[in-house]
Structure 1
Amino acid sequence: MAAVRKALGAALTTAVCVVLLTGCGLKDLRDDKGAGPAPVPSVSETFPIKAPLPAGKPLDGQAKVKPVPSPDPADPSAVARAWLMTAYSYDTAYDTGPQDANLRALGYLTDKQAEVERSYRPGAGSGAAWATWAEHKAWTTVEITADEDDQGPGDTPTSSFRTFLVDGKAHGRDGWTGTGPQLTAFVELTMTGPGTWKVAGVMVTPAAIPPSAAPSASASASASSSPSPSTTAR
């Protein structure tokens, strides 16, 4: 983790961004007739578009994820922690993917960043870890620790930068436990009003996580297929 933090520190002085990796399949582009050059495929032929995930169900009294206490808006560290706690607390009995938790954290974002989140449409399939959590109807809890080796830029009167380590655990409703979200997050905050900080951007470096359980075929299928799209965002 120390090596990751050092590499991250060098990058943070020049950019703050959110990294999104979207997987897609490639068609076999060989010419079946075997005569003449193969036609140039269109974008839609080469990169099939994944059906967007539907929105999750609103959390209710039976959900394991509880609202995060309101932070002091004048404390950038408290605002960053509240965003991380909300954005990485999942309940797979309600959420269809991580984006549902991101949408619950909109209140901590600047208006511009919140609009980006609302307009994002995640494709079907949220990865092997999510499929495992969903198989056990798990929810996640996270511990957030300030990075003592923070090498980010210094604060200004209107901008603040914080680096945190996120250590998550997953808890299945069937008694199973496993690894939850594991990452280093560099958070940029902006002063949007007197004594009011908002998250303006986040750069995340996920930690390498060994598989804790193999999801069943049915869980994997349900995680990679979805009905008609709903509004979701990153």
Structure 2
Amino acid sequence: MRPGSGAGRTLAGLVLVLALAGGALWWAAGSRSSGSAAPAAAVSPRSTSPAVREAVPVPVLPRGREGVPGGGLPDPAAVDGRDPEAVGRAALGAMYAWDTGLDVTLADAERRAVPWLTAGYGAAVASRSAVAAGGAAWSSWAGHRAYGRVSLELLRDERPSDSSGTVYRQWSVTVVPTGRDGWTGAPVTAVAYVEVVRVGEVWRVAGVRVS
């Protein structure tokens, strides 16, 4: 994510959390060796175990309403599932198409991308529940009854070579908060790293990481 508004950090942060649930991606950090285990500390016979505290349940926010966001959604019938770039574009276009008139949090918007996700990644996105609202940025957008207008640009930066079953693409994502009262907010920008895998005869997004 480029330095900028809190809105950008909010949007990118949530997408990153969901993306990490999708599995290993080529940009993920390698596992770190922990080295040899430290010897266990001696325990005095007089030591007592700490009291176990009962976990306090965290309230989950309700989900948003069904509907088409103000910025529109990709048409599934028009997306060529045999084209990994088309599938990646559709997934991102849906994922970022938030609408404060429908959504409680950005998690509601991300669930719109499920038709273009793998079963595992899609299940993680579909089942995720938000426990916190979107903060000041979301409150500002909601005050204008705003929705996001999404534009995507495919980047040609260096990336791993394509294989018969996996491709990686980088996309520049720009979302313009657009109020139903005529207000326009500062654009929110990010670079999305998308992993797309072959599932049978079609392609599906297996993970998204945002910077």
TM-score by length of 1: 0.65
Q: 1:171 aligns with which of 178, 195, 198?
A: 178
Alignment of 1:1-234 (within 5 A): 13-15=26-28, 42=53, 44=55, 50-59=58-67, 63-70=69-76, 71-148=79-156, 150-194=157-201, 196-205=202-211
Alpha-carbon contact 1:93-1:137 (below 8 Å) kept: yes
In the alignment, the residues of structure 2 paired with residue 79 and residue 180 of structure 1 have an alpha-carbon distance, to the nearest angstrom, of: 24
Q: Is the 2:71–2:150 Cα contact (8 Å) retained in structure 1?
A: no
Deviating above 6 A after TM superposition, structure 1's stretches of 4 or more consecutive aligned residues are none
Q: Structure 1: which amino acid aligns with 2:28?
A: A
Deviation of the 1:15 alpha carbon: 2.1
Aligned residues with identical type, % of pairs: 35
CA distance in 1, matches of 2:136, 2:57: 20
The answer for unaligned runs of 5 or more in structure 2 is 3-24, 30-49
Question: How far, CA to CA, are the matches of 1:170 and 1:89 in structure 2?
Answer: 10
Shift of 1:124: 2.2
- The alignment partner of 1:66 has SS state of coil
Distance 1:105 1:96 in 2: 16
Q: Secondary structure at the match of 1:128?
A: helix
Contact 2:84/2:167, CA 8 A, preserved across alignment? yes
Q: Deviations over 1:116-138 (max 9, x none)?
A: 11221111211322121111110
Residue type at the aligned position of 1:126: G
Q: CA deviation at 1:108?
A: 0.2
- How big is the alpha-carbon RMSD for the aligned residues of Structure 1 and Structure 2? 2.5
Letter matched to residue 83 of structure 2:
D
Query: Unaligned stretches of 5+ in structure 1?
Result: 3-11, 17-38, 206-234
| Letter of the structure 1 residue corresponding to residue 171 of structure 2 | F
Q: Is this contact kept in 1: 2:104–2:133, CA < 8 A?
A: no
The one-letter code of the counterpart of 1:156 is S
Number of residue pairs matched by the alignment: 168
The question of whether the paired residues in 1 share the 8 Å contact of 2:73 and 2:93 is answered with no
Contact 1:164 1:185 in 2 (8 A): yes
